[in-house]
Structure 1
Amino acid sequence: MSDKKKHIIALVLFYGYISILLWITIFSRQSPTGKNMLMHPLWEYIALFKNISWHAARDIVMNMLLFIPYGFLFSCAYVKYRKYTIILAFALSVFIEIIQLIFQLGWSEIDDVVNNTIGAFIGYKVYGRTIKK
């Protein structure tokens, strides 16, 4: 397969993923829940280790899993800009949290930004170890 075809496939997959990500985090949310904002950094980690909270563990893992494809697919689609993967994932996560806060769509949390960014970093590293040679 030619490099151009691979690049087109990577772009289609990346933007398909972005569409699904925005659907899950913004557009599928039905009704406003009120301005719900948690500004206590790492509260989920504290709850996890202090209280053995399986809800916190699930939330942490799900937010990381949500952004692993971002780190991998952005690196595939934009090889020349791969070094910006993490900062752009961070910016996208902040954007999503701000939209959720403004339109009152669930909880807006610093921990989500942290976990999403960690997930993107994992995807970035997976790309570096499996695709890039």
Structure 2
Amino acid sequence: MKKNTRLLIEHRHKIALLLFVAYVFFIIYYTLLCREVGNGHKADLRLMWAYREMFTGHPEWKEDIGYNVKNILFLIPFGICFPKINLHISFFRDKRWLLILSVGMLLSVFVEITQYTTCRGLCELDDVLCNGLGSFIGYWISIVLRKVWTATRDSSNLGVR
């Protein structure tokens, strides 16, 4: 059992990179490839339109807010699994959160533009913002998990139970 654990720890970066790449492919599959081509190009570039519907009492506001929540939840794993890359870009050196937020939003922009050009969904500005927020939340969850893991590992090494 110890040998398997040691192998997992030794290869954790490779495993994390593999999970990250697999998740990006899942995102592309789920948002583009498994959808049928629609009847035309659709876009809604109104910022936070679902929240305006909520405040004006639109009958479908709960469903619309639900889509935003799903978009946030959808990219949390992206932020958690984002690979730890040593960057030589000075702008992102001390701002890893900004890198993950930017890459998450760029992936979302790619998906939204592709949905629009291939007629495979509604291109929405809110999706980009919610997906970016999800990747940002995922980053912070990964920070908390890393601190808990380190504290647990350190306490077990000291014999503290």
How many residues align? The count is 131
**Equivalent residue number for residue 27 of structure 1:** 33
TM-score (norm 1): 0.89
Give me the identity figure in percent. 30
Give the helix-richer structure, 1 or 2.
Answer: 1
State the AA in 2 paired with 1:131: R
Q: Please give the alpha-carbon distance, in whole angstroms, between the structure 2 residues aligned to 1:11 and 1:50.
A: 44
TM-score (norm 2): 0.75
**Equivalent residue number for residue 122 of structure 2:** 107
Q: Please give the alpha-carbon distance, in whole angstroms, between the structure 2 residues aligned to 1:95 and 1:80.
A: 24
Q: Please give the alpha-carbon distance, in whole angstroms, between the structure 1 residues aligned to 2:67 and 2:76.
A: 15
Pair member with larger Rg: 2
Q: 1:90 aligns with which of 101, 105, 110?
A: 105
Q: Which runs of 5+ in 2 are unaligned?
A: 1-5, 88-94, 151-161
State the AA in 1 paired with 2:32: I
* Contact 1:90-1:116 within 8 A present in 2 as well: yes
State the AA in 1 paired with 2:141: V
Following TM superposition, where does structure 1 have runs of at least 4 consecutive aligned residues deviating by more than 4 angstroms?
none
**Equivalent residue number for residue 57 of structure 1:** 65
- Are residues 1:121 and 2:136 paired? yes
**Equivalent residue number for residue 70 of structure 1:** 78
